Amino acid sequence: MLALSVDGLQVRYPGLPVPALDLPSLSLAAGETAALVGPSGSGKTTFINIVTGMERAGSGRVAWNDENIAGLPEGGRDRWRARNVGLVMQDFHLFPGLSAEANVLLPQRLSHLRLPAGMQPRARELLARVGIERPEQLVGTMSRGQMQRVAVARALAGRPGLIVADEPTASLDAESGAAVADLLVELAQEAGSTLIVASHDGRLIERMGRTLRLANGRLAA
């Protein structure tokens, strides 16, 4: 279970006169579900990169359960992320030469000396729940929508304290999108994970407990 507390956060990029992200104060309770919305360029990707430690905050505090990841060097942020975050990125970051199941298991293999007991059946169960019927299929031969579902299954496999998904239903038709949305919410609840979803999908946004609306890098009321 991870609670977020952000204070005095500003992210600036060269050439931008105003901060790409300017958050004086923001809290999320452990297990809370939040939709991140806003027009193109409003700072959603920057927000995701900062709260997952992929990018370094220029100034301010970004604390998950009192651990200020903004104060960690890159290697420390990478280790924190591997332990705590399940990520679904827009371009999936899957390995095309590996099967769906191997992709789901890979982060678990990398972050543990040996694959945790029960992880293989969990990978198969998650893949079945997102509608992937051939876990042995190479990801490189899959459609974009299928890849998106594999990426979701992978993010959920390790029961992370935080799940962050960037447009997780963007490549899916309405029916698959609804199934993936259900799965994200159900599994986050099962594991007590905090869930942050950047999305334009009204049905997914509706399912979140809270909406964080960004405009020009600031949170609107």
Ligand X SMILES: Nc1ncnc2c1ncn2[C@@H]1O[C@H](COP(=O)(O)OP(=O)(O)OP(=O)(O)O)[C@@H](O)[C@H]1O
Q: List, in order, residues 6 or more apart from 138 with CB less than 8 Å away.
A: 96, 97, 98, 99
Is there binding between residue 40 and ligand X (CB under 6 A)? yes
Residue 45 near ligand X by CB under 6 A: yes
- In angstroms, rounded to a whole number, what is the distance separating the alpha carbons of residues 36 and 15? 25
* Total of chain residues touching ligand X, rule CB under 6 A: 12
Site for ligand X (CB under 6 A): which residue of 38, 135, 160, 177? 38
Residue among 41, 97, 140, 202 that touches ligand X (CB under 6 A): 41
Q: Which two tokens stand for residue 137?
A: 């299929």
CB of 151 to ligand X, least distance (A): 17
Contacts of 40 (CB under 8 A, 6+ apart): none
Part of the chain binding ligand X (CB under 6 A), chosen from 38-46, 68-76, 178-186, 202-210: 38-46
The Cα 155–Cα 163 span in angstroms is: 7
Binder among 1, 8, 16, 71 for ligand X (CB under 6 A): 16
Pairwise CA distance, residues 153 & 129, whole Å: 8
24 vs 196: CA distance, rounded Å: 19
Among 46, 108, 148, 193, binds ligand X (CB under 6 A): 46
Q: Which residues bind ligand X (CB under 6 A)?
A: 13, 15-16, 20, 38, 40-46
